[in-house]
Amino acid sequence: MPLDPKVAEDLGNLAYELGHDPKTRKAFGKLVREAKPDSPHARAFSDVDMEDKFAAFEEKQAAKELKAQQDAMLANMNRQRQNLITGGADGSGPKYDEDTVKKIEKFMEDNGITNYAHGAVLFANENPPLSPPGDDPPPSTYGDRWELPDFDKFSKDPDGAARSTAYEVIKQFRQKKRA
């Protein structure tokens, strides 16, 4: 059944509008290319092909950049993890064994921490060692006994006496530790 000339003209005008409207040009061009791929009408939409290819290229580049960022972040985290085991680049920092590093990683994961140094500090704060670290001698080797402070001093100026006594005790401990 042939089309009414008026309807054919309206359809032609509609096709023209769809092919030139930026909102519909891409979809309309795809339909034309699918229906008549070798026609001059399909070649008229070559700009749509170029846009599609450019968009695909941009997506591929964005994926490459994202992958590069992920790889860099993973390498950085592996370096930070290794620093916990070796004590840092110069080896002077705290060193942890593999089991402790795994506990630190679990702590970091539970608390949303991505920096190993920060995770180790917070983990150590939450889980202090049972005995203090360092080379402090056992308490029996400190020497003299500590005497109770003079309470006459405290009755006159409790805050000042407490402060000066504390400073004196700290000074004594430091002197004995150096000796």
Q: pLDDT digits over 44-88, tens only?
A: 888 888 888 898 999 999 999 999 999 999 999 999 999 999 988
Q: Cα(88)–Cα(117) distance, rounded to whole angstroms?
A: 10
For residues 59 and 155, which has the higher predicted lDDT (pLDDT)? 59
pTM here is 0.46
For residues 73 and 177, which has the higher predicted lDDT (pLDDT)? 73
Range with the poorest average pLDDT among 5-19, 104-118, 141-155: 141-155
Q: Is the pLDDT of residue 133 over 70?
A: no
**28-41 pLDDT tens trace:** 888 888 888 888 88
Q: Is the pLDDT of residue 149 over 60?
A: yes
Domain ranges of the chain: 1-65, 89-128, 144-178
Give the model's pLDDT for residue 140: 55
